[in-house]
Amino acid sequence: MNRNIILTGMSGAGKSTLGVLLAKALGMDFIDTDIVIQQRVGRTLQSIINSDGIERFMETEESVVSSLALNNCVTATGGSVIYSDKAMTALKRGGIVVCLYVDFDELEARLTNITTRGIVMRTGSKLEDVYKERLPLYQKYADMTIDCTGRDIESCVGELVMQLRHDTNE
């Protein structure tokens, strides 16, 4: 498989954890765009959001993600990259976009560190507002969706590997 696999979904959906295991299973490289942003800027995501603001963070995210030269790579994206058509178009151009879906109740239970995690949330918004706003965008760009609700990471990886192999053999 010489295409990239792009993982999207809400913070807490398991993109980074699942991405590492998927890359190992398929013999691909792995990259986490949140880590790339932190390395390029020299600060944590939450620090960037706190000091530069949400709009500036999203401009930085769009610029960094759009400039990536990916090849045979599993990429875990930040949950807010979905707001950038430019970044998503660049990612889709070279790969298959997979949305990791988790229902809201489980997602809320997983996210115990919401104030330090670097989640793009406008003032006055609740996690549920962000979830409802982003869900249609994740679906818009997804080539496939894996429901990870109530499932362990290994079974999600197994389903995704099977689905990807099925799609590439057609």
Q: Per-residue pLDDT tens for 2-52?
A: 589 999 999 889 999 999 999 999 999 999 999 999 999 999 988 998 899
Fold of 4-157: Rossmann fold (3.40.50)
The whole-number pLDDT of residue 1 equals 46
The whole-number pLDDT of residue 115 equals 57
Residue 41: count of CB within 10 angstroms of its CB? 15
Helices (H), the chain: 15-26, 33-41, 45-52, 54-67, 85-93, 104-110, 127-141, 153-168
Question: What sign results for the dihedral spanned by CA atoms 68, 71, 77, 82?
Answer: positive
Whole-number average pLDDT of the chain: 90
Domain locations in the chain? 4-157
Instruction: State percent of the chain over pLDDT 90.
Output: 71
Instruction: Give CA–CA dist 168/119, Å, rounded.
Output: 34
The whole-number pLDDT of residue 3 equals 85
Q: Taking a C-beta distance cutoff of 8 angstroms, is the pair 13, 103 a contact? A: no
The whole-number pLDDT of residue 12 equals 86
pLDDT digits (tens, 9 = 90+) for 73-90: 999 998 899 999 999 999
Who's near 41: CB < 8 A, 6+ residues apart?
48, 60
Distances in Å between the Cα of 99 and the Cα atoms of 52, 60, 108, 118, 140 are 28, 22, 18, 20, 10
